[in-house]
Structure 1
């Protein structure tokens, strides 16, 4: 039996906004954990169909490969910063978690074992959801933003972070802290696997370094992997396939 795909499943409907949709990729066997995949794009672009530019030509797609390896996948859309400001994006991720927990049995996966896997802005949302609410058993974060105030030019009103928050992070420090995963690290948080390229020009690798340090200090299991020479979205990565495979192996090891 091959991977089953259900596209355009509505998981939430906020009044005044478009319906929020997810695509499900279901493995042949029932009872599998589920990957909640959150796309990147600086909170201002991207869709549930995006796994990242370096994977655009993969056939089967990365989503299908995860399902072939025995995990379900739910790749979700969330409200972008041009539609709604923070915390709308976090609320959408929490709604997706609730939907997966409620509907897992209906679709044959285990909604109590959710791995949040995100890239860039999606890694930020995956980490934030895992640290501030229930339901997520592990996190895979690729080149994520974890401390908004520590991003370059925190006073720039045109930055991606300013568009997310509605003001430059330097002007709204309390809100920027609230929206930063590093501020919510606590003992008992789920395990993390963090990846970052050493040559990332858009999100400094220090973001993942600081997050890993905070997790270790709190006693949270964390793996931090540096990818030598890789830029953002894995440009110039020496072996993006290895990054994918090791991330998948981490996700496969999830426990409720």
Structure 2
């Protein structure tokens, strides 16, 4: 009975986290199959399903119709506390804007923590990037201009992909092998970093709310927390694995440019998680910009034009900061980092 109760609790937690993500998703995009100026290719398998029938090895592509044979690529992944295997759905919200700006957009799903534990999720996104490079000519992608973007656990995935592009031991053997998995830019929206320091930095009362909402007793350190599920063990018992799952561990001067944004009122992932990543990037001399957004919580609308001006920190060479993180701000960061997309024909 205990095992079945735990499985049920994990499913409930995953459902709640997914509902949270949907609540804060903002306005829905145009139909995922088509849109003004773009076409979509959905449910493309970048590796065989594992387990059979699951969705964690699928991606969707959104292709601008007008002009250009070698476009920059934006890979997008939505968060679910690692409990979902359909992170590719987030890209449908971003596709109208970014395809209009000349980017190919890929929504990438990775396996859930109930299907496979870390580092499987990192192996998955790297496999998707390799697949996209292997098919770059088919889809008009410039294989030398790839950015990753994600929110919450998707932000963690994006950050991990960004800082481990040259770490052979973390490449994995999922799907296509051969092409590199490095990326040239990262957009991390309120992703976690150091799991063992999350509880100490939670806002006052946030752990109590977190526990009540998700049926836990010990916040992020709970043996049933999203972070413990990701690692397959209670995080306090495996500090070495926590370190391996921390993007800060891999930050060097070879890391790509980062744009980081975090809502000041985030009650799920403390803002200090993003601050520590920014500090590590700054110390390594990596171009990085960090937006702390007053009035925003754990919310995809953090990049909405309705947000208030942000508190901004930049490293040398990071370029103009703007006043708040919007989709336009992100596109300007990508253009500055990757170079401009081809003009429409």
Task: Say which of 284, 288, 291 aligns to 1:218.
Answer: 284
Q: CA deviation at 1:218?
A: 0.6
Instruction: Report the secondary structure of 2:333's partner residue.
Output: helix
Q: CA deviation at 1:235?
A: 6.2
Q: CA deviation at 1:77?
A: 1.0
State the match for 2:61 in structure 1: 24
1:243 aligns with 2:326: yes
1:11 aligns with 2:46: yes
State the match for 1:190 in structure 2: 256
Q: CA deviation at 1:101?
A: 1.1
Instruction: Report the secondary structure of 2:145's partner residue.
Output: strand
1:170 aligns with 2:236: yes
CA distance in 1, matches of 2:75, 2:192: 18
Instruction: Report the secondary structure of 2:125's partner residue.
Output: helix
State the match for 1:34 in structure 2: 73
Cα distance change of structure 1 residues 235 and 7 upon mapping to structure 2, 3 Å threshold:
closer
Q: Which runs of 5+ in 1 are unaligned?
A: 52-59
Q: CA deviation at 1:154?
A: 4.9
Report which of the two structures shows the higher radius of gyration computed on alpha carbons: 2
- Please, what is the CA RMSD of the aligned residues? 2.1
CA distance in 2, matches of 1:64, 1:111: 22
State the match for 2:193 in structure 1: 146
208-217 vs 180-189, which deviates more?
180-189
CA distance in 2, matches of 1:12, 1:175: 25
CA distance in 2, matches of 1:224, 1:198: 12
Cα distance change of structure 1 residues 235 and 221 upon mapping to structure 2, 3 Å threshold:
closer
CA distance in 1, matches of 2:140, 2:262: 33
TM-score, normalising length: structure 1: 0.90
CA distance in 2, matches of 1:238, 1:16: 40
60-69 vs 133-142, which deviates more?
60-69
State the match for 2:10 in structure 1: none
Does the aligned pair in 2 maintain the 1:116–1:138 contact within 8 Å?
A: yes
Does the aligned pair in 1 maintain the 2:87–2:154 contact within 8 Å?
A: no
More helix, by proportion: 2
Cα distance change of structure 1 residues 221 and 44 upon mapping to structure 2, 3 Å threshold:
same
TM-score, normalising length: structure 2: 0.68
State the match for 1:65 in structure 2: 97
CA distance in 2, matches of 1:242, 1:185: 23
Instruction: Report the secondary structure of 2:157's partner residue.
Output: helix
Report matched runs for 1:113-152 at 5 Å.
Answer: 113-133=145-165, 134-152=181-199
1:44 aligns with 2:83: yes
Q: CA deviation at 1:234?
A: 4.2
CA distance in 2, matches of 1:155, 1:212: 23
Does the aligned pair in 2 maintain the 1:200–1:230 contact within 8 Å?
A: yes
State the match for 1:106 in structure 2: 138
Instruction: Report the secondary structure of 2:275's partner residue.
Output: helix
244-253 vs 115-124, which deviates more?
244-253
CA distance in 1, matches of 2:38, 2:96: 7
Does the aligned pair in 1 maintain the 2:291–2:325 contact within 8 Å?
A: no
State the match for 1:57 in structure 2: none
Cα distance change of structure 1 residues 235 and 68 upon mapping to structure 2, 3 Å threshold:
closer
Does the aligned pair in 2 maintain the 1:195–1:226 contact within 8 Å?
A: yes
CA distance in 1, matches of 2:132, 2:81: 25
State the match for 1:201 in structure 2: 267
Does the aligned pair in 1 maintain the 2:62–2:99 contact within 8 Å?
A: yes
